[in-house]
A = this chain, B = another copy of it.
Amino acid sequence: MGDQDENPACATGKIRLYVETPLQAGAEVALTREQSHYLLNVMRVKEGGAVLLFNGRNGEWRAEIVKTGKKVCVLSLRTQTREQDYVPDLELWFAPVKRAATDAIVQKATELGAAAIRPVLTRRTIATKVREDRLRATVIEAAEQCGRLTVPDVLAPLDLAEALSRLGERKLLFCDEGGNAPPARAALTGESRGAWAVLIGPEGGFEPAERAMLQAQDRVVAVSLGPRIMRADTAAIAALSLWQSQLGDW
Contact = CB atoms under 8 A, between A and B. Distances in A.
Interface of A: 5-6, 8-9, 11-12, 85, 98, 104, 107-108, 111-113, 124, 126, 145-148, 183-185, 203-205, 224-231, 233-234, 237-238, 241-242, 244-246, 248-250
B111 A229 contact: yes
A229 B112 contact: no
Contact of A250 (B124, B145, B183): B183
A206 to B, nearest CB: 11
B249 A145 contact: no
A185 B245 contact: yes
B111 A234 contact: yes
A234 B237 CA distance: 7
Given A245-B184, A245-B185, A145 B238 contact: no
Contacts of A233: 108
Contacts of A229: 8-9, 111, 145-147
Nearest to A224: B250
Given A8-B204, A124-B11, A228 B184 contact: no
A155 to B, nearest CB: 21
Contacts of A249: 226-227
Contact of A228 (B11, B113, B183, B224): B113
Nearest to A225: B250
A112 B229 CA distance: 9
Contacts of A230: 111-112, 146
A203 B8 contact: yes
A128 B228 CA distance: 31
A2 to B, nearest CB: 11
A176 to B, nearest CB: 13
Nearest to A205: B11
Contacts of A8: 203-204, 229, 231
B242 A241 contact: yes
A125 B245 CA distance: 28
Contacts of A226: 112-113, 244, 248-250
Contact of A11 (B11, B203, B238): B203
A88 to B, nearest CB: 10
A93 B238 CA distance: 18
